[in-house]
Structure 1
Amino acid sequence: MTIGLTLADGTVLVHLAGTLDREARALLLRAARRVVRGSTGHLIVDCADLCSCDEAGLDALASLHRLPGIESVRLRHVDPALRRRLDAAGLAGRLGCRAEAQGSAPAASRRSTL
């Protein structure tokens, strides 16, 4: 798992690449705790390069909301398989899932701020 973090205008963009599993869960939560300081507490999690996500990975995404200082969490570039798992777990609405059409620019790049 590779986790990229970018802070722009107080919003944290978290880019996930690889497999979000039990091992990666700890990395993601540790990184989110570290970066939320100095931010507005708004996280956008980019799942475009996420290959797979098991139960521990779903729990990690849900746990982001419970971290101190986190105001909101939004997922973008969610593929249909992950969306079905999030729907089944009752998490899709809470995480504001967005699946964008192939080839369309991410919302953050169309605006001057995230």
Structure 2
Amino acid sequence: MDVDGGAGAWRKPGRARFDVRVRPGTADGVVVLELGGELDHDTVAPLREAVEEHARARRIVVDCSDLGFCDSTGLNALLKARLRMRETGGRLDLAGLRPPVDRMFDITGARAVFRVYEDTARALADPAPHAGGAGHD
């Protein structure tokens, strides 16, 4: 998991195919997970570790704006993380879905399960996300 580095740090030569950067949100108990690269069966471990590490957060915003690919393993990891957060009274929201990842969320119906924001700034600006499912853009 990469906690430092600038935008696009996972795109540098020699970096892993997928990386997760963690940063605090704008309020206490809010964490942003910035995903970059390709999320699939072979690369999902850092996402699972980051969610586990921050499972006590009040809210996790997953920034997908630099995520170029997500397969069913990645989708399932996000769905499981969302359920785990709900069980503890927290939320897991998505931000910055871009093609082709957005298309996969639409086709599978998973987009309707998550609260999805156009970008992380809008997600963090939402003062009191409602409990439950689908959101807005």
- Provide, for residues 49-76 of structure 1, a one-character-per-residue CA deviation record: whole Å limited to 9, x for no partner: 1111111111111111122536211111
What TM-score, normalized to structure 2?
0.66
Amino acid at match of 1:75: L
- Provide, for residues 2-24 of structure 1, a one-character-per-residue CA deviation record: whole Å limited to 9, x for no partner: 10112332111010011111122
CA 1:94–1:19: 2 relative to 1, 3 Å: same
TM alignment of 1:42-57, pairs within 5 A: 42-57=59-74
CA 1:36–1:52: 2 relative to 1, 3 Å: same
Confirm or deny: 8 A CA contact 1:83 1:97 kept in the other structure. no
Amino acid at match of 1:107: R
- For 2:89 and 2:50, the matched residues in 1 are separated by 13
- For 2:89 and 2:75, the matched residues in 1 are separated by 17
Q: How high is the sequence identity, in percent, across the aligned residues?
A: 27
Task: Name the counterpart of 2:6.
Answer: none
What TM-score, normalized to structure 1?
0.77
Moved over 4 A (4+): 108-111
Unaligned runs of 5+ in 2: 1-17, 127-137
Confirm or deny: 8 A CA contact 1:75 1:97 kept in the other structure. yes
2:118 aligned to 82, 99, 113, which one? 99
Amino acid at match of 2:53: R
- Provide, for residues 20-51 of structure 1, a one-character-per-residue CA deviation record: whole Å limited to 9, x for no partner: 111222221121111223x21x1110011111
Structure 1 or 2, whichever has the larger Rg, is: 2
Task: Name the counterpart of 1:33.
Answer: 52
The number of equivalent residue pairs is 106
Unaligned runs of 5+ in 1: none
CA 1:59–1:27: 2 relative to 1, 3 Å: same
TM alignment of 1:60-79, pairs within 5 A: 60-67=77-84, 69=88, 71-79=90-98
